[in-house]
Amino acid sequence: MDEMDFEGTLVLEQLAAIDRVDEFFEAVDADDVQRAAALMREADVDAATIAIVLRKIAEGDAEH
Protein backbone atom coordinates (compact mmCIF):
# COMPACT_ATOMS: atom_id res chain seq x y z
CA MET A 1 0.00 0.00 0.00
CA ASP A 2 1.38 3.38 -0.91
CA GLU A 3 0.38 6.99 -1.16
CA MET A 4 -1.26 6.39 -4.57
CA ASP A 5 -3.88 4.21 -2.84
CA PHE A 6 -5.07 7.33 -1.03
CA GLU A 7 -4.34 10.07 -3.56
CA GLY A 8 -7.06 12.70 -3.58
CA THR A 9 -9.18 11.02 -0.97
CA LEU A 10 -11.16 12.63 1.76
CA VAL A 11 -9.02 10.73 4.27
CA LEU A 12 -5.89 12.51 3.06
CA GLU A 13 -7.66 15.84 2.96
CA GLN A 14 -8.76 15.43 6.56
CA LEU A 15 -5.31 14.26 7.66
CA ALA A 16 -3.72 17.20 5.84
CA ALA A 17 -6.04 19.58 7.65
CA ILE A 18 -4.43 18.50 10.93
CA ASP A 19 -0.93 18.15 9.39
CA ARG A 20 -0.75 14.39 10.02
CA VAL A 21 -0.35 12.89 6.52
CA ASP A 22 3.31 11.94 7.02
CA GLU A 23 2.58 10.37 10.40
CA PHE A 24 -0.27 8.39 8.86
CA PHE A 25 1.96 6.95 6.11
CA GLU A 26 4.67 6.17 8.66
CA ALA A 27 2.09 4.22 10.67
CA VAL A 28 0.91 2.39 7.55
CA ASP A 29 4.51 1.54 6.56
CA ALA A 30 5.14 0.23 10.08
CA ASP A 31 1.92 -1.81 10.02
CA ASP A 32 0.81 0.16 13.07
CA VAL A 33 -2.93 -0.03 12.44
CA GLN A 34 -3.76 1.30 15.91
CA ARG A 35 -1.77 4.47 15.24
CA ALA A 36 -3.25 4.85 11.75
CA ALA A 37 -6.75 4.48 13.19
CA ALA A 38 -6.01 6.97 15.97
CA LEU A 39 -4.76 9.53 13.47
CA MET A 40 -7.87 9.10 11.33
CA ARG A 41 -10.09 9.52 14.40
CA GLU A 42 -8.14 12.66 15.31
CA ALA A 43 -8.85 13.94 11.78
CA ASP A 44 -12.58 13.26 12.26
CA VAL A 45 -12.71 10.50 9.64
CA ASP A 46 -15.97 8.57 10.08
CA ALA A 47 -15.90 5.05 11.53
CA ALA A 48 -17.05 3.34 8.32
CA THR A 49 -14.24 4.95 6.34
CA ILE A 50 -11.69 4.05 9.00
CA ALA A 51 -12.82 0.42 8.77
CA ILE A 52 -12.38 0.45 4.98
CA VAL A 53 -8.90 1.97 5.24
CA LEU A 54 -7.84 -0.54 7.90
CA ARG A 55 -9.10 -3.37 5.69
CA LYS A 56 -7.06 -2.00 2.77
CA ILE A 57 -3.99 -1.82 5.00
CA ALA A 58 -4.49 -5.48 5.98
CA GLU A 59 -5.03 -6.48 2.34
CA GLY A 60 -1.83 -4.66 1.42
CA ASP A 61 0.07 -6.73 3.96
CA ALA A 62 -1.28 -9.93 2.42
CA GLU A 63 0.22 -8.95 -0.93
CA HIS A 64 3.77 -9.00 0.46
- Please say if the pLDDT value at position 50 is more than 70: yes
The residue ranges of every structural domain in the chain are: 3-62
pLDDT at 62: 59
Is residue 52 predicted with pLDDT exceeding 80? yes
Q: What is the pLDDT of residues 7-47, one digit of tens each?
A: 457 899 999 999 999 999 999 999 899 999 999 999 999 89
Do 39 and 23 contact (CB within 8 A), yes or no?
Answer: yes
* Range 27-41 burial, b when 16+ CB lie within 10 A, else e: bbeeeebeebbbbbe
